[in-house]
Amino acid sequence: MKTKKLQDPENVLRGKGGEIHQTAGPEVPILTTQQGTPVSDDQNSFKVGPRGPATLEDFHLREKMFHFDHERIPERVVHARGFGAHGYFENYETLADVTSADLFQRPGEKTPAFVRFSTVAGNKGSADLARDVRGFAVKLYTQQGNWDIVGNNIPVFFIQDAIKFPDLVHAVKQEPDRDFPQAATAHDNFWDFISLMPESMHMIMWVMSDRAIPRSFRFMEGFGVHTYRLLNADGKSTFVKFHWKPKFGLQSVIWNEAVKINGADPDFHRRDLWNAIQTGDYPEWELGLQLFDDKFADEFEFDVLDATKLITEEQVPTRRVGRLVLDRCVDNFFAETEQVAFCTNNIIQGVDFSNDPLLQGRKFSYLDTQVKRLGGPNFTHIPVNAPKCPFHNFQQDGHMAMVNPKGRVNYEPNSWGGAAGGPRESHETGFQSFLAKEKGRKVRERSESFADHYSQARQFYISQTKVEQGHIAEALIFELSKVEKPAIRLRLVSHLPHIDPKLADRIAKGLGLRDKLEVPPPAKQPLPDLKPSKALSIALNGPKSFAGRKVGILVTDGTDRPLFDGLKSAIEAEGATLEVVAPTVGGVLASDGSIIEAQQKIGGGPSVLYDAVAVMPSADGVQALLKNAAAKDFVSDAFAHLKFIAYVGAAQPLFEKAGIAADLDEGCLILNAPKDAQTFVIACRKLRRWDREHIAMA
């Protein structure tokens, strides 16, 4: 069949039609069917003559097509787009005083973990920088079974009762007649629903803030949201809220940047996590526990069972009890990230639920959806979902059962005795629920203690810096400007005076509202005196160093080699990384004739992909950049996005062309000598030059 052996280190033959056949060798395994039958030709189907009809007996074609046709499984109904990685949780100290959970007993003990980050509303193929809540789901493979903390990057939620979840998700996703917009809240159905759900106002403040456009999964917090319980060996209960605090501090992008990143690199977040782990710069978070007792819960101004409320860290500080490190990318995205199944029901001895009605409802949701998504009840056998501790029970059969009981007995109690009788209960180590005393009539009603809808929305707003407040206002104006029906805009803005009258005015002006606001009477009068909380701002919780961040360096032929090397060393010494952006991806010839390798071509590496930039053309090289629109955007966007910019004198004509030469400020640092690089990197620790905003965004 094959006629010619080609010149190639691997065994490559060419078929009669010119097609390439790569063949097995001593170190190259033989391709087989799923049944193990070796395949002789994977390029051609079996036909009656080379130009004739296909034969029915071509079992290889049939099997290959059949399998391909079934490659897709339903995407998650929410949180469809996500990215996961393996790692471990390391416990700092024994927490035996508050919980008997095994993983918290021994200082220094490591528990394997799998984490999946996600957006909520978009489809699986949507872009990473959508304005959205991020899922932060952690599976801990403890010696007592799997414990999933299925959280988000925002500590509160839109709704108080699970019965509203399908409505919330229908409202936020694509509108059903047209199937757009996807991965966006800026449409009528979402704001219509929200304007009729005052309980969502606190969450809305968060979603309109820069929390909803994080720079990286690595630079965002995670929250369990609900109040849970911890139980110690004596059965004593302590309430708890879970927090994940990123080691590298908080950082978000700004909206104009998010829009452009979505075009330049829709996989920006997944690529960032992948690269960080592959290069050994392991992302890390500390687990913080807010612990409180019944007395605090009774005296707290809100209901601790209401998921639209948080407890500020000034009221209950977070006790840092361990760290979560992600140190291994998945081998196969589908097998691990797509098939992982987190569930709030996956809980271990020493932890328990509270009566939060949102949490209670979640317990009815995850298993159902996963049976549909993963095709049967045995998805717990998939390696990423299976416990790493021993597990035994009499559950059997079903689609694709991988873990099957041996022997004759598959029920209990039984009288077979000993090992032949199979697994038995354990009163010592078995899960014990908190025996809460419950009383009351059966009712379908909301607790009055949930009725304050605005106080914490206001507290969040006043906890933001002026710049952050401006971003919330701009986001609201942007989103509501996309709403076609004026009555919805008006109804939404009418809630805002309860949060902040000046904010309401600003939004009304920004939307050009002519109708008078009809402010709805609050179900409960908001509290006037909640204090701002520093922990709620991103700007006040930034990093202490520039580690983990990335600088984009624009170079041309003739770039000054010593200056470039000085900058590279300073960036790397800080624990940051750099990418070289050049006229071609083949790199440039530096001032000393050496090659500077490039990772991006201008245009392929716009400045939105970097935390700071350096503009280092030679005097000749800059002339070509002046004719390159992408080079102009590189500097004008970096300036508009308030980034720190290092530059050489030769960059001046490009700054003039980009219209920023007259506005250069202290965030723009000239590199005259290699030592100036250090000053630049130290400046970059602030991440952005916020006081440029009034010029850049005017």
Q: Binding residue for ligand HEM (CB under 6 A) from 91, 100, 144, 152? A: 152
Q: CA separation (Å) from 359 to 226, 227, 352, 356, 378? A: 7, 9, 11, 5, 24
Scanning 89-97, 362-370, 404-412, 513-521 for contacts with ligand HEM by CB under 6 A, the matching segment is 362-370
Q: What are 87's two structure tokens?
A: 């790692």
Does residue 373 belong to the site contacting ligand HEM (CB under 6 A)?
Answer: yes
Structure tokens at 290: 């807010």
Is the Cβ–Cβ distance between 634 and 604 less than 8 Å?
no
What DSSP assignment string belongs to 162-180?
Answer: GGGHHHHHHHHS--TTT--
* Both structure tokens of 525: 């009068």
Q: Which of 89, 114, 292, 342 is the binder for ligand HEM (CB under 6 A)?
A: 342
Residue 153 is a catalytic residue: no
Q: Per the omega criterion (within 30 degrees of 0), is the bond before 181 cis?
A: yes
Instruction: Using CB under 6 A, pick the residue from 147, 157, 206, 454 that binds ligand HEM.
Output: 157
Which of the stretches 291-299, 308-316, 338-346, 643-651 binds ligand HEM when contact is defined by CB under 6 A?
A: 338-346
Q: Determine the 3-state secondary structure of 336 from DSSP.
A: helix
Among 33, 123, 143, 365, binds ligand HEM (CB under 6 A): 365
Q: Which of 79, 269, 471, 641 is catalytic?
A: 79
Min dist CB 551 to ligand HEM, Å, is 31
The residue with tokens 């809240």 is 185
Containing H/E element for 351? strand 351-352
- Please, are residues 611 and 652 in contact by the beta-carbon 8 Å criterion? no
At residue 147, the 3 state secondary structure works out as strand
Query: Which window, 157-165, 207-215, 492-500, 521-529, contacts ligand HEM (CB under 6 A)?
Result: 157-165
Q: Closer to ligand HEM by CB, 358 or 687: give it.
A: 358
Length of the chain counted residue by residue:
698
Of positions 82, 122, 322, 566, contacts ligand HEM by CB under 6 A: 82
What minimum distance in Å lies between the beta carbon of 352 and ligand HEM?
Answer: 17
Q: With respect to ligand HEM, which residue has the nearer C-beta, 164 or 692?
A: 164
For residue 378, state whether it binds ligand HEM (rule: CB under 6 A): no
- To the query of whether residue 345 is one of the catalytic residues in this protein, the response is no
Residue 565 and residue 452: Cα distance in Å, rounded?
Answer: 58
Which residue of 103, 113, 121, 137 would you call a contact of ligand HEM, by CB under 6 A? 137
Span from 47-55, 71-79, 380-388, 470-478 in contact with ligand HEM (CB under 6 A): 71-79
Closer Cβ to ligand HEM, 224 or 422, answer by number: 224
Joined together, the tokens standing for residue 575 give 């624990």
Please pick, from the candidates 6, 24, 30, 77, the single residue that binds ligand HEM as defined by CB under 6 A: 77
Kindly tell me which of 114 and 634 has the beta carbon lying closer to ligand HEM: 114
User: Taking the CA atoms of the chain, what radius of gyration do you get in angstroms?
Assistant: 29
Looking at the Cβ atoms of 159 and 696, the one nearer to ligand HEM is 159
135, 322, 566, 605: which one contacts ligand HEM (CB under 6 A)?
A: 135
Per-residue contact string for residues 298-337; x = within reach of ligand HEM by CB under 6 A = ----------------------------------------
Q: At a CB cut-off of 8 Å and minimum separation 6, what does 652 contact?
A: 661
Chain centroid offset of residue 535 CA: 20
Answer for which of 92, 165, 300, 690 binds ligand HEM (CB under 6 A) is 165
Contact (CB, 8 A) for 152 and 236: no
Q: Token pair for residue 200?
A: 């969502």
Q: How far apart are CA 586 and CA 591, in angstroms?
A: 16
Per rule CB under 6 A, is residue 361 in the interface with ligand HEM? yes
The answer to whether 4 and 17 are in contact (CB under 8 A) is no
Per-residue b/e over 394-416, b at no fewer than 16 CB within 10 Å? eeeeeeeeeeeeeeeeeeeeeee
Among 116, 211, 495, 498, binds ligand HEM (CB under 6 A): 116
Helix extents (H) in 49-121: 59-69
113 touches ligand HEM (CB under 6 A):
no
Contact 115, 218 (CB under 8 A): no
Of the pair 379, 454, the CB lying nearest ligand HEM is at 379
User: Is residue 363 close enough to count as binding ligand HEM by CB under 6 A?
Assistant: no
Q: How far is the CB of 174 from ligand HEM (least distance, A)?
A: 17
Residue 643 in contact with ligand HEM, rule: CB under 6 A: no
- Report the alpha-carbon distance of residue 128 to residue 83 in Å, rounded: 10
Which of 87-95, 150-158, 179-187, 469-477 is the region at the interface with ligand HEM (rule: CB under 6 A)?
150-158
Strand 319-329 and strand 82-91: pairing? antiparallel
Q: What is the size of the binding site for ligand HEM (CB under 6 A)?
A: 27
From the list 60, 91, 146, 152, the catalytic residue is 152
H/E element, 487: helix 486-493
Q: Residues 232, 97: contact at Cβ < 8 Å?
A: yes
Q: Which run of H or E residues covers position 241?
A: strand 237-246
Determine contact, residues 533/314, Cβ cutoff 8 Å. Answer: yes
Residue 366 sits in the site that holds ligand HEM (CB under 6 A): yes
Q: Does 76 sit near ligand HEM (CB under 6 A)?
A: yes
Minimum Å gap between C-beta 193 and ligand HEM is 15
Question: Rounded to 5 degrees, what angle do the CA atoms 158, 163, 165 make?
Answer: 40
Q: Which residue is nearest to ligand HEM (CB)?
A: 135
Least distance from C-beta 340 to ligand HEM, angstroms?
Answer: 6
Q: Which of residues 103, 113, 162, 212 is near ligand HEM by CB under 6 A?
A: 162
CB 318 within 8 A of CB 290: yes
Binding to ligand HEM, residues 197-226 (CB under 6 A): 225
- Orientation angle between helical segments 466-481 and 201-208, nearest 10 degrees: 100
Query: Is the Cβ of residue 370 or residue 577 nearer to ligand HEM in the bound state?
Result: 370
Whose Cβ is closer to ligand HEM: residue 445's or residue 484's? Answer: 445
Residue 475 structure tokens: 């986001």
Residue 119 engages ligand HEM in binding (rule: CB under 6 A): no
- Stretch of residues binding ligand HEM (CB under 6 A), selected from 74-82, 176-184, 312-320, 397-405: 74-82
Listed ranges 1-9, 250-258, 368-376, 682-690: which one lies at the site for ligand HEM (CB under 6 A):
368-376
Residue 150 found at the interface with ligand HEM (CB under 6 A): yes
- Selected from 370, 463, 556, 607, the binder of ligand HEM by CB under 6 A is 370
DSSP letters of 501-548?
HHHHHHHHHHHT--SPP-PPPPSSPPPS-PPP-GGG-SGGG--SS-TT
Check binding of 139 to ligand HEM (CB under 6 A): no
Reading the block at residue 395, the tokens are: 């559950």
Query: Please, which residue, 150 or 351, has the CB nearer to ligand HEM?
Result: 150
Q: What is the largest CA-CA distance in the chain?
A: 90
Sites of contact with ligand HEM (CB under 6 A): 76-79, 82, 116, 118, 135, 137, 150-152, 157, 162, 165, 225, 340-342, 358, 361-362, 365-366, 369-370, 373
Active site residues: 79, 152
